[in-house]
């Protein structure tokens, strides 16, 4: 650790802590910059540098002339930030979701490692099918720690209005800021072929995705099989 932490970094940490604590709700405006600067006893320039970084990390959103707002997981932001599939023309659309099964279980060694849990810790195990235009696209097996989502039930999950990450945020105050995906090629097994409407031997993408909140805390992890008939996985390297 650096001996001397710059002032704006400490302001950033304090702001992030306040956000995590829920001092301002997603979608709400923060106080104006001069007021915040006064509260933290720093100059406006320093306060702005702290906000700059939180905006770069998508925790905050600036709207000129209006204010600075806590980012909320709308359909549009989810689509742009966390959904990688595009059609032949490069366009994205949010998929429809169909819940296949919802169970309570215990974390295997592998799952526990990914979610930073003890082996055997209670988790939810959810199977979910995502489709575009009634064509099945992605088969997900999701695991999430029961500790993070204490009162989650099948009904709550199935009847949510928005995306899964939006549910985490609005109901449990858990905001996903980053996901890491590991992609391999595989042959779909019999069940996957049925659900994804493929005829063996059918190549699919096998993606292991883990979602993280602030401080790299794992939120959920999933194994997803993706049929790339009409949609491709899009990735941009460099120029971040």
Partner DNA sequence: AAGTGGTCTAGACCACCAT
Partner DNA sequence: TGGTGGTCTAGACCACTTA
Q: Does the protein bind DNA through residue 138 (CB under 7 A)?
A: no
Which of 20, 33, 53, 57 lies at the binding interface for its own copies (CB under 8 A)?
A: 57
CB contact at 8 A, 167 and 82: no
The entry of its own copies, DNA, none that residue 42 binds, CB within 5 to 8 Å by partner kind? DNA
For residue 227, give both structure tokens.
């049929």
Tally Cβ neighbours within 10 Å of residue 52: 14
Work out whether 48 is an interface residue with DNA (CB under 7 A). Answer: yes
Interface residue with DNA, options 15, 16, 19, 30 (CB under 7 A): 30
Angle at 212 between CA 141 and CA 40, to 5 degrees: 155
- When asked if residue 240 is in the footprint of DNA (CB under 7 A), the reply is no
- Please give the Cα distance from 127 to 146 (Å, whole number): 16
From the number of C-beta atoms within 10 Å of its C-beta (0-12, 13-18, 19+), residue 121 rates as middle
* Shortest distance in whole angstroms from residue 54 CB to DNA: 12
Q: Which of its own copies, DNA, none lies near 150, with the C-beta cut-off 5 to 8 A by kind? A: none
Residue range at the interface with its own copies (CB under 8 A); choices 7-15, 118-126, 150-158, 174-182: 174-182
Q: DSSP letters of 136-188?
A: EEEEEEEEEETTTSTT--HHHHHT-SS-HHHHHHHHH---EEEEEEEEEEEE-
Cα angle 194, 97, 175 (rounded to 5 degrees) comes to 130
CB of 15 to DNA, least distance (A): 12
Which residue in 24, 40, 58, 146 binds its own copies (CB under 8 A)?
58
- In the complex, least distance from residue 61 CB atom to DNA, rounded to whole angstroms: 9
- 76 vs 159, which CB is nearer to its own copies? 76
Measured CA to CA, the distance from residue 39 to residue 32 in angstroms comes to 11
Minimum distance, C-beta of residue 103 to DNA, in the bound complex (Å): 44
The least distance separating its own copies from the CB of residue 152, rounded to whole angstroms, comes to: 22
Give the pairing type, strands 217-226 and 176-187: unpaired
> Where along the sequence are the contacts to DNA (CB under 7 A)?
2-4, 6-9, 29-30, 32-34, 42-46, 48-49, 62-68
Binding site for its own copies (CB under 8 A): 56-58, 81-82, 84, 86, 176-187, 201, 203-205, 226-228, 232-240
């Amino acid at each position: 650790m650096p001996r001397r932490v710059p002032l704006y970094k400490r302001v950033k940490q304090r702001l992030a802590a306040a956000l995590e604590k829920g001092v301002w709700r997603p979608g709400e405006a923060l106080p104006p910059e001069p007021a915040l600067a006064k509260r933290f006893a720093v100059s406006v320039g320093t306060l702005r540098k702290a906000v700059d970084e939180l905006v770069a990390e998508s925790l905050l959103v600036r709207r000129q002339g209006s204010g600075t707002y806590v980012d909320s997981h709308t359909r549009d932001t989810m689509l742009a930030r966390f959904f990688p599939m595009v059609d032949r023309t490069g366009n994205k659309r949010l998929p429809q979701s169909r819940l296949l099964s919802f169970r309570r279980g215990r974390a295997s060694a592998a799952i526990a490692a990914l979610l930073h849990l003890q082996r055997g810790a209670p988790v939810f195990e959810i199977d979910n099918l995502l489709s575009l235009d009634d064509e099945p696209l992605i088969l997900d097996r999701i695991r999430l720690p029961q500790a993070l989502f204490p009162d989650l039930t099948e009904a709550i999950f199935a009847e949510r209005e928005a995306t899964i990450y939006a549910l985490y945020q609005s109901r449990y105050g858990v905001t996903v800021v980053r996901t890491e995906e590991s992609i391999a090629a595989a042959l779909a097994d019999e069940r996957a072929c049925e659900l994804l409407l493929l005829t063996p031997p059918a190549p699919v993408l096998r993606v292991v995705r883990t979602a993280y909140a602030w401080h790299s805390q794992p939120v959920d992890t999933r194994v997803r099989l993706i049929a790339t008939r009409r949609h491709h996985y899009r990735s941009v390297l460099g120029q971040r």
